[in-house]
Chain A
Amino acid sequence: MELSRRKLLAVGASSFALLSLGTSAALASKADEAIAKFTGGADAGEGALELIAPEIAENGNTVPIEINAPGAVSVTVLADGNPVPNVATFNFGKLNASRSASTRIRLSKTQNVIAVAKMEDGSFQMAKANVKVTIGGCGG
């Protein structure tokens, strides 16, 4: 736990190269599973759904994100490189005006943030954003 910043960066850089080859496939499939669970296996197309995330996040502990999902009933947000891909699920009520929300999330490393929206007609939409993380937010 007592890693200096210098060491951490060195370890991070080398392990990242390995990780991105080795485990990203396994982690990505975890995220795919989570998406399939949300959509019930249905295909998610592109649409009005918008996911706004920073291109580069210096601190993975608090990354601001925003979703805009006109016509959506609920939106789930996933991070495909986190130990647990699920981030949050927003269910919009009758009095929700714009079907949009923003929050702050944790990202353990550089990865894709994915939003999947369930629309009022039962179809699904998906949006992705790649976020480069300088310092991971999992406290490992």
Chain B
Amino acid sequence: MASGVKPRVKVPKKASAGDVITIKTLISHKMESGQRKDGDGNVIPRSIINRFVADFNGENVIDVTLEPAISTNPYFQFDATVPESGEFHFTWYDDDGDVYETKKKITVS
């Protein structure tokens, strides 16, 4: 079902050790709330991303539980501390069992 799902993530490429960096994420997804009805008055079944997790080198940064009240194309902005060079790992979990992943490297000097 979930077609055209594309995660987009903005992470700075470089930082100093211990810096606080801001991360922005957006994933294209229609987030069908389960409240809407189609032309015949039938309820369109819920189909959303229900969880979003961001990790850095295996340590958790943020773990969000999403409900249908999150807008289409879920957007999140948050801050992270980067102790050393490594990789951010972003994961989105869809209601239909799909898992979308993306990774971003950062160099810490």
Q: Which residues of A contact B (CB under 8 A)?
A: 1, 61-63, 79, 82-84, 86-98, 100-107, 137-140
Contact = CB atoms under 8 A, between A and B. Distances in A.
A97 B62 contact: no
B91 interface: no
B79 A138 contact: no
Given A138-B35, A139-B33, A105 B59 contact: no
Contacts, number: 110
A129 to B, nearest CB: 15
27 contacts: A1-B39, A62-B71, A63-B71, A84-B68, A84-B69, A88-B66, A88-B70, A91-B62, A92-B62, A93-B61, A94-B59, A95-B81, A95-B83, A96-B62, A96-B79, A97-B21, A97-B81, A100-B78, A100-B79, A102-B76, A102-B78, A103-B77, A104-B75, A105-B69, A105-B70, A106-B69, A139-B37
Interface string B65-92: 1111111101111111111000000000
Contacts of A95: 56, 59-61, 80-83
Given A83-B35, A104-B75, A88 B61 contact: no
Q: Which size class do B's interface residues fall under?
A: 20 to 34
Contact of A87 (B59, B67, B72): B67
A99 B31 CA distance: 25
B95 interface: no
Contacts of B80: 95-97
Interface in B21-69: 21, 33, 35-37, 39, 54-56, 59-69
Contacts of A1: 37, 39
B20 interface: yes
A95 B70 CA distance: 24
A87 B77 contact: no
Contact of A89 (B65, B76, B81): B65
Contacts of A91: 60, 62-65
A49 to B, nearest CB: 16
Contacts of A96: 60-62, 78-81
B51 to A, nearest CB: 10
A63 B80 CA distance: 24
